[in-house]
Chain A
């Protein structure tokens, strides 16, 4: 079946411009995650959605970053007034969610191919 898709795959923008990154999760996955990965570095958690709600937005690096999810499906990560330090690969992942039984929480995350953002 279809996996997680992200668009655009590459984005080059000038410092100060706004950008929107899109993520299409696997159909039926209620949880959606955004991460940032700088060259040769680890995965920096940004935000996650359970349905359309983001329980904790404290991972967003500054108030220039915002994210929304509509209809429990597509999500958009927006970066306003981009800075050079925002250059990175932005990864989206989705997972199904354990909602019954004694242990609740996410199953495995399926990652999209990422959007490579370059701020010049």
Chain B
């Protein structure tokens, strides 16, 4: 079942912060975050595993609340290059099919 993302879209000024949320109705094994710029393939940002392990880019932070089946991506001091569509992807259990959320469109203006 597809996870829900919020907000659907957000517009920021350079330097502002944003939080993008991802929630699932099912228990989750892992949550992945990707960013896709227009006309390009998605690029990995962060993976969060059940139990607290994380792996991702230094400038990106995220949280994973296993009990609430929610994850949040924190974008601080946004830059123009942060613009794009952010997708969360969820894996309900080891080896089960991976499902992406509908995406959150982020626009950072000068």
Contacts and interface: CB of A to CB of B under 8 A. Distances in A.
Interface of A: 33, 35, 42-45, 48, 50, 55-56, 58-59, 91, 93, 102-114
A103 B50 contact: yes
Contact of B95 (A35, A55, A113, A114): A55
B99 interface: yes
Given A42-B87, A42-B100, A107-B47, A91 B32 contact: no
A95 B13 CA distance: 34
Contacts of B99: 45
Identify whether the interface residues of A are mostly helix, strand, loop, or mixed.
loop
Interface string B19-51: 000000000011010100000011110010111
A111 B43 contact: yes
A107 B98 contact: no
A107 to B, nearest CB: 7
Nearest to B97: A56
A103 B41 CA distance: 28
Given A42-B101, A45-B100, A107 B55 contact: yes
A33 B98 contact: yes
A105 B87 contact: no
Interface string B63-104: 000000000000000000000000101010011111111110
A110 B91 CA distance: 16
A112 B55 contact: no
Contacts of B47: 107-108
Contacts of B95: 50, 55, 104-105
Contacts of A114: 41
A109 B32 contact: yes
B9 to A, nearest CB: 12
